[in-house]
Structure formats: structure tokens, C-alpha cells
Amino acid sequence: MNKWDSRMIGMANLVATWSKDPSTGVGAVITDQKNRVVSMGFNGFPRAVLDDDEKLMDRDERLRRTIHAEDNALLFARQDVTGCTIYVTHPPCARCAAKIIQAGIARVVAAQPQQDFAARWADDMRSAGEMFTEAGVAFNFLGNQ
């Protein structure tokens, strides 16, 4: 197993704990080719938008307002992320995969999802996987490469 892959997924796991999402905390870390951290993100509402329990516990409202971890990491990057790697605690959804590709990320590493997550996000994982393949973005689960 790639030592840095394991370290950066560990960091993404830490960042995921900062999420207030009552369902799933997701963390993402973007690194450059020298394993330097370029950006990080976790899933949550936009800055200054009230994320009180009432809004967080309303599933539909939460889903409409939440920025995904990968999206936040891309938004917070202060440099071009072309050629960078993104590490995510969960496999990216199709919308995030599209943005990851468009931003020029070269490689995606995700932790192996739990079975219930994989079942819930099966369509997204399939679409994301197809797009990564077509776009030439390397995708692998931690430990499988």
C-alpha cells in the first residue's frame, strides 16, 4: 500500500469528523505531486448559512443546502489543482466526479465504502467511475491499485 495514500486518507478521515452532518461526515484532502496538502474540505452548509439542528435534521433541506466535501476542497483551493490527487473518505458522487474532472485533478483515492453506503450510492458510483475512466482520471480505493 502506498504510504502517502494511507496517510492522506487518515487526514481525510480526521477532516470528516469536523462535519456537522448527522448522517454522513465526509472529508476530502487535495495534494500536489509532492504530497503537500493543497486544500481540504468536509460536507456542510455554505459559510454563514445557519446549520442549526432543525435544518440539519430535515433531510431534504439538508441535501439541498449541503456542499459536498470534494466540492468544498475544490472551492477552497488557492492554486491550480491540475495534476493533483484528491483523497476522499467515501467514493465521490457523480456531481463531484464531474467537478473533479473539470478542475484537472489527475487521481482520486477513496476509502472502501461500507456496504450500505455503496448500495445507496450505487448509481452515482457507476456514473462517477465511467466518467473517471473516459476522462483518464485514475481512480482507486485505498489499498487497491
How far apart, in whole angstroms, are the C-alpha atoms of residue 74 and residue 57? 26
Q: At what angle do helices 94-103 and 122-135 cross, to 10 degrees?
A: 20
Position 68 contacts Zn ion (CB under 5 A): yes
Give CA torsion, residues 15, 19, 25, 31, to 10 deg: -30
* Binding segment toward Zn ion, per CB under 5 A, in 63-71, 82-90, 105-113, 114-122: 63-71
Position 96 contacts Zn ion (CB under 5 A): yes
DSSP 103: H
Among 88, 93, 109, 110, binds Zn ion (CB under 5 A): 93
**Residue-wise DSSP of 24-60:** ---EEEEE-TTS-EEEEEE-BPPTTS---HHHHH-HH
68 annotated as ligand-binding: yes
* Binding segment toward Zn ion, per CB under 5 A, in 36-44, 62-70, 81-89, 135-143: 62-70
Position 97 contacts Zn ion (CB under 5 A): no
Confirm whether 70 is a catalytic residue. yes
90 annotated as ligand-binding: no
- Catalytic pick among 61, 70, 130, 134: 70
Binding residues for Zn ion, per CB under 5 A? 68, 93, 96
